[in-house]
Amino acid sequence: MKRLGVNIDHVATLRQARKTRYPNPIAAAALVEKAGGNQITIHLREDRRHIQDVDVRELRKTIRTRLNLEMAARPEIVAIACDVKPDTITLVPERRQELTTEGGLDVTKEDGNLSTAIKKLKQSGIEISLFIEPDLKQIEAAVHLGADQVEFHTGRYCELTDKGDKKEVQKELARLKESAQFAKEKGLQVAAGHGLNYDNIEDLLRNIPEIEEYNIGHSIVSRAIFVGLEKAVQEMREIIQGVGK
């Protein structure tokens, strides 16, 4: 069964907009799990624009599925992660000015920082996923770094789909497929995420059975405004189950 990780950062974004106590990410995570989400994904950013340290600690105590913490390989955040022990850490690039994570981590240009972080996190018993572009060189470097999983950045695929550029979409799908097959051959688990929604996920499910996990946030939380979080998660689960058997 394919896993659906629901990224609940934007529940915290709404709370931080007014510095209120609601909406509460802990309550959101419980609803996601009730609706069939297989994993709660959160990003503890250096600027703490949405998820706060206390959220990470509380979620660790309350969630019943899996906790996937996205973070940059910075010593301050690594120390928090080693203490909290999420099930998985997804290492992502982080730039202060960006709206969201733009592009994957370039793991071929390792300066020692990344491998030190990975070593520490693995020693704490945490699985490591690297958020990279679907690129064979990146996958080889991820294997070399001892990753358990790669998550492919689907931003380019989603942008091309929005533009309706069918030829380029097919090219990007082929790149994702080749990368997913290569990563599987190398013994890595394969995940995908960024910009996925109720429409554009279908071609990935149909064409790339190697993708075992999807991490989706913005589209699900947006839909939740109209239909409620449980229904928004159920609808995505149904698509994943229906199309991507």
Per-residue binder mask for ligand PXP (CB under 6 A), 156-185, x = binder: ------------------------------
194 is catalytic: yes
Give yes or no for a contact between 108 and 138, defined as CB atoms under 8 angstroms apart.
yes
- Tell me the per-residue interface mask from 30 to 69 with ligand PXP, x by CB under 6 A, - otherwise: -------------x--------------------------
DSSP per-residue string spanning 197-231 = -TTTHHHHHHH-TT--EEEE-HHHHHHHHHH-HHH
134 binds ligand PXP (CB under 6 A): no
Q: Is 151 an interacting residue with respect to ligand PXP (CB under 6 A)?
A: yes
Residue 90 is a binding residue for ligand PXP (CB under 6 A): yes
Q: How far apart are CA 13 and CA 26, in angstroms?
A: 14
Peptide bond preceding 86: is omega within 30 degrees of 0, i.e. cis? no
The pairing of beta strand 88-91 with beta strand 3-7: unpaired
Residue 24 amino acid letter: N
Q: Looking at the DSSP assignment, which residues form a beta bridge with residue 153? A: 193
Choosing from 2, 186, 218, 231, the residue that interacts with ligand PXP (CB under 6 A) is 218
216 binds ligand PXP (CB under 6 A): yes
User: How many residues in the shown chain lie near ligand PXP by CB under 6 A?
Assistant: 19
Which amino acid, 95?
A: R
Reply yes or no on whether 70 is catalytic: yes
Residues that bind ligand PXP (CB under 6 A): 7, 9, 43, 70, 90, 92, 100-101, 131, 151, 193-196, 215-219
